Structure 1
Amino acid sequence: MVIQFLDAFILLTFLMTMNLKDLWTGIINELSNETERIKLITWFKNTVILSVENGIITVGLPLPFFLNWHSVHFAKMTLEAAKKLDPTIRQIAYEVDLTLGDSDPRAIDLAKHFPEKNLARKVPKKNEVKFVGGVVSKILNPQYTLENFVIAPENRLAHAACLNVAKYPGQNYNPLFIYGGVGLGKTHLLQATGNEILRNDPGRVIVYITTETFVNEVVDSIQKRNMDRLRNKYRKVDTLIVDDIQFIANKDRTQEEFFHTFNTLYDGGKQIIISSDRPPHELTLLNERLVSRFESGMIVDVKMPDYETRLAILQERCREAQVFISPAVLEFIAFNITRSVRALQGVLKQVIARYEWEHIAPTVKMVSEIIKHSQKEVKMVGFVEDDPTPRGVITLEQLIDCVSEYYTIPKTEVVSDSRVRECTVPRQIIMYLAKTKLNMSLARIGENLGKRNHTTVMHAISRVAEKLKEDHQLMRDINAIKREAGMH
């Protein structure tokens, strides 16, 4: 009798999930009539309907910053779409649920649901890009688009900001300041935004320039006593895109010119997009007036993506190049190249080139040779051919076993909901090592440790990192576990 009741309950839950998913699919279909595909994929990825009760539809959002954006930009149209499909709905509410992800049965695969149409995109050719002042500027690379930028938690906000700027240049996010380490996709975002602005309005005048080139032009203009020519170029554009602004540090005359150029454009409602290797407040050698201007706009960062995203980037680039490379090879590259996205794509380009020249399918051995010669600082982890499991690196399961044995606690207790200190500390250590040594995503760590959510895992990792600064016993314990697990 109990079993029959449980079976009926499971079936009812399944049917309710499907009904809510069908409703959400219908709502998103309605939204697609007035919302661009790329916006839907960016802002509705991994969103679900949590419930429909008493006339209130509650929508689950996977990340906190989605909440404000949906409330401002999508709430009204989402509610109207919901009312069309279910007239009993009168109100919409949002809840952030950090456990939402691709594996959630309620989520819709929007990329598949709205496949990209095979239409030639209008991208600017060299002779279509307009410049002013008679000074040659670097031309936007049409291969950089916002659609072929692989979105991940580490760059989602930056991508969304660029999307908004491309749609509404000079309005919401001005200036837009993007910062992050070398080779993480800043230049892609800058140029893709410029391309998207031109696609929306081919008549716009856009200048993309590196800071080094700007500095050289200022020096040249001073020497030739022709500053007006330089000012005409940069102060009469619709959008100014400047890459690597940190190189303007300690160059007072260049900073002065850029400050006045910035003010002229900003006061005229023109869009300014800037990239740097660090946030404005860390640009200590820059004039405070410039830093203040940068901080007045939208500041977003890009970080090195985790293993899953690195693999997705490789798969996307293979799709664009229309080549097939075995999953084992792509996984090997994604696992070993962790320094930058640029290095990741550089290795893939070499692999594809070898494939096209020699007409031999790439193997793990071949790729390991390429990495050995082109990425000398990389200490590779070997793979068995056609088996993506790394040699010499333990799995999360083995790490859990190792920590459980070290603390003499049953494995079932470590992954349980127990809050006693004897279990929580080992569990936090596992989370910390899984992230810092195995480079696993927070979602995967939480999924394998009692289905804990993203926030819980992040808090545990931060707590261990903070305690390591002064808790010498904890440091000794973690070092002992790393030695036992072969992590050194």
Structure 2
Amino acid sequence: MSITAQTVWNNCLEFIKDNIQPQAYKTWFEPIKAVKLTDNSLSIQVPSKFFYEWLEEHYVKILKVALTKELGETAKLVYIIKMENTYGNKQPFTEKIPSSNRGALKSQDVDVPFNNKSPELRNPFVIPGIRNVKIESQLNPNYNFENFLEGDSNRLARSAGLAVANKPGGTSFNPLLIFGGVGLGKTHLAHAIGVDIKDKYPEKTVLYISAEKFTQQYIDAVKKNNRNDFIHFYQIIDVLIIDDVQFLSGKTGTQDVFFHIFNHLHQNGKQVILTSDKAPVDMQDIEQRLLSRFKWGLSAELQNPDFETRVSILKNKLYRDGVEMPEEIVEYVAKNIKSNVRELEGAIISLIAQSSFNKKEITLDLARIIVEKFVKNTKREVSIDYIQKVVSDYFQMDIDTLQSKTRKRHIVQARQLAMFFAKKFTKASLASIGSQIGKRDHATVLHACKTVDNLSSTDKQFRKYVEDISKKLSV
């Protein structure tokens, strides 16, 4: 029986799985595909340059041991990088690299940026007419890595941020896109990277700006016929940090100018850091050529912190504020406020304030009162599990049936409705929604949402389903 690439790779994976953390295995090894086996050389496909570099940096030893066990001492590993080129291009970008060969990678095609030279670069952050060559970074030094605590929910994003801070423009994390829901620390991490770069490389020009302010500056530049000055200003930045990049949605002029600025910075080895409330695949009304570039580097998700991380965040906050609090109270707050870091810290500040103003001791009873008010005043975030339960109950079926592979029309429609409401009521990515509702991919979820929209406008009965379930979820 002849062995195949898949057989060899499966055996390697069994060995690797037993020797690394489950989360690391899921992140770094599940996306890899075995491509071909030639003599003693195994070719594997990885989704980006970033993946290749990370594997070579962190897992080259275990890969060597696993492959040697399968193919002997002369075993070779070849990476095939297949980068998603997003929607428009049918041909993927690929490059073959033998293991431990750090040769230069080909870059994708990019548009030529503006080349006109302007005698004077105008800084949008200074008052017109006052010349100021120093560009203020607009960074908040209070947002640093020291008080951005690491946990399972943010480890990848934080590690990538540290790598960028150590070598801005010199890693594959360019651009680095940090995405996640409200209050999970996107802005904090973006500032922390900038602050660290300024500490390590004082000569570099670092600039933090919100996408909203960037857009307003561009509109002003067009009105004053200073578009080229605007472009030239941003082209001299070494590290550009744009917060809430999803704000560019639908703004074609701003997207176009950002596209040229991005190309210039990227081609010249400058670092771009972006934050967004959603993954690139979920961004609406952003040009495909921009989305493609967002995927060149790393998209790292910030998720809701787990219990241990929430406890660490609270303890760190109390330590920084010089406040002592019994362990059971810290754990009570952490256990009951799960939504995000901002609300978690808000609750502890409220507790300290109540205790201080009313000269009351911080007790578990006081914590219960504060947390109860806090949770009541905080908009409840509906979970995907809860949505599936509501939809299943409405159609009188169990969740296993909803998630099943059956193509029966009423079950398919129930599943599509669950996906539609998961997209509407949660911050989860399409891929995450698909994974939780019957292990589907993001394209299935996208199709489900479009189908629900279409049926709602053409089918009276289906529209009633949508209205009924919407009421149940909004209660």
Q: Normalized against structure 1, the TM-score is what?
A: 0.52
**Contact conserved, 1:255 with 1:287, CA < 8 A, in 2?**
yes
Deviations 1:210-251 (A, max 9, x none): 111111111122222222342233221110001111111011
Match of 1:235 in 2: 235
Q: Which residue in 2 is equivalent to 1:73?
A: 57
Count of aligned positions: 282
Mapped to 2, the partners of 1:132 and 1:223 lie a distance apart of 15
Partner of 2:156: 157
**Contact 2:124/2:217 (<8 A) preserved:** no
Task: In structure 2, give the amino acid aligned to 1:73.
Answer: E
Letter of the structure 2 residue corresponding to residue 334 of structure 1? A
CA distance in 2, matches of 1:323, 1:77: 46
- Aligned position for 1:299: 299
Going from structure 1 to structure 2, the CA distance change for 1:214 and 1:143 (only over 3 Å counts) comes to same
Distance, in Å, in 2 between the alignment partners of 1:171 and 1:301 is: 21
Contact preservation (8 Å) 1:175, 1:273: yes
Partner residue in 1 for 2:198:
198
Structure 1 residues 359 and 76: alpha-carbon distance in aligned structure 2, compared to 1, 3 A threshold? farther
1:251–1:355 Cα change, 3 Å: same
Aligned residue in 1 for 2:207: 207
Structure 2 distance, partners of 1:134, 1:463, is 47
Tell me the secondary structure at the aligned position of residue 376 of structure 2.
coil
Could you say which residue in structure 2 is the equivalent of 1:390? none
Work out whether residues 372 and 378 of structure 1, in 8 Å CA contact, stay in contact via their aligned partners in 2. Answer: no
TM-superposition CA deviations, 1:409-467 (whole Å, max 9, x none): xxxxxxxxxxxxxxxxxxxxxxxxxxxxxxxxxxxxxxxxxxxxxxxxxxxx969999x
Query: Cα 1:225–1:361, aligned 2, differ >3 Å: closer, same or farther?
Result: farther
1:334-413 map, 5 Å = 334-378=334-378
SS of the residue aligned with 2:179?
Answer: strand
Task: Report the equivalent of 2:89.
Answer: none
Equivalent residue, structure 1, for 2:138: 139
In structure 2, the CA distance between the partners of 1:167 and 1:132, relative to structure 1 (3 Å rule), is: farther
The equivalent residue for 1:253 is 253
Identity of aligned residues (%): 35
* Structure 1 equivalent of residue 410 of structure 2: none
- In structure 2, C-alpha distance between the alignment counterparts of 1:170 and 1:198, rounded to whole Å: 14
Q: Greater shift after overlay, 356-365 or 270-279?
A: 356-365
CA–CA distance in 1 between the matches of 2:21 and 2:358?
Answer: 48
Return the offset for 1:260. Answer: 0.9
* Matched residue SS, 2:242: strand
The gaps in structure 2 that reach 5 residues or longer are 1-17, 30-50, 63-120, 127-135, 381-434, 441-475
**Is contact 1:133-1:232 (8 Å) kept?**
no
Distance, in Å, in 1 between the alignment partners of 2:283 and 2:379 is 32
> Judging changes above 3 Å, is the alpha-carbon distance between structure 1 residues 197 and 336 closer, same or farther for their aligned structure 2 residues?
same
- Tell me if structure 2 keeps the 8 A contact 1:371–1:378: no
Task: Identify if the C-alpha distance between structure 1 residues 462 and 257 changes in structure 2 by more than 3 Å, giving closer, same or farther.
Answer: closer
CA contact (8 A) 2:137 2:206 kept: no
Instruction: Quote the offset at 1:293 in angstroms.
Output: 0.5
1:220 and 1:342 map into 2 onto residues whose CA distance is: 33
Greater Cα offset, 62-71 or 271-280 = 62-71
Compared with structure 1, are the counterparts of its residues 313 and 149 closer, same or farther at alpha carbon in structure 2 (3 Å cutoff)? Answer: same
Equivalent residue, structure 1, for 2:85:
none
Aligned CA distance change for structure 1 residues 234 and 349 (closer, same or farther; 3 Å): farther
* Secondary structure, aligned partner of 1:376: helix
Q: Is contact 1:350–1:370 with CA below 8 Å preserved after alignment? A: yes
Work out the CA distance in 2 between the residues paired with 1:463 and 1:156. Answer: 26
Amino acid at match of 1:264: H
Change (3 A) 1:463 1:324: same
Give the partner amino acid of 1:340. N
Structure 2 matches for 1:206-225, cutoff 5 A? 206-225=206-225
Whether 2:272 is the aligned partner of 1:277: answer no
Shift of 1:265: 0.8
Distance in 2 between residues matched to 1:267 and 1:258, nearest whole Å: 14
Helix, strand or coil at the partner of 2:138: coil
2:186 is aligned with 1:186: yes
Please give the alpha-carbon distance, in whole angstroms, between the structure 1 residues aligned to 2:341 and 2:294: 26
| CA distance 1:209–1:335, change in 2 (3 Å) | same
CA distance in 2 between counterparts of 1:141 and 1:338 reads 26
CA drift at 1:355: 4.2
Amino acid at match of 2:295: E
What letter matches 1:155 in structure 2? N
Aligned equivalents of 2:54, 2:289: Cα separation in 1 = 34
* Distance apart, 1:367 and its partner CA: 3.3
Contact 1:206 1:240 in 2 (8 A): yes
> 1: distance between equivalents of 2:180 and 2:152?
14
SS of 1:135's equivalent in the other structure is coil
Compute the displacement of 1:71 (Å).
5.9
Tell me by how many angstroms 1:153 deviates.
1.2
Pair 1:257–1:375, CA change in 2 (3 A) = farther
2:214 partner letter: F
Does the 8 Å CA contact 1:135/1:230 hold for their aligned counterparts?
Answer: no
**1:158 partner letter:** A
- Secondary structure, in 3 states, of the residue corresponding to 1:209? strand
Letter in 2 for 1:204: K
CA contact (8 A) 2:152 2:306 kept: no
Q: CA deviation at 1:60?
A: 5.0
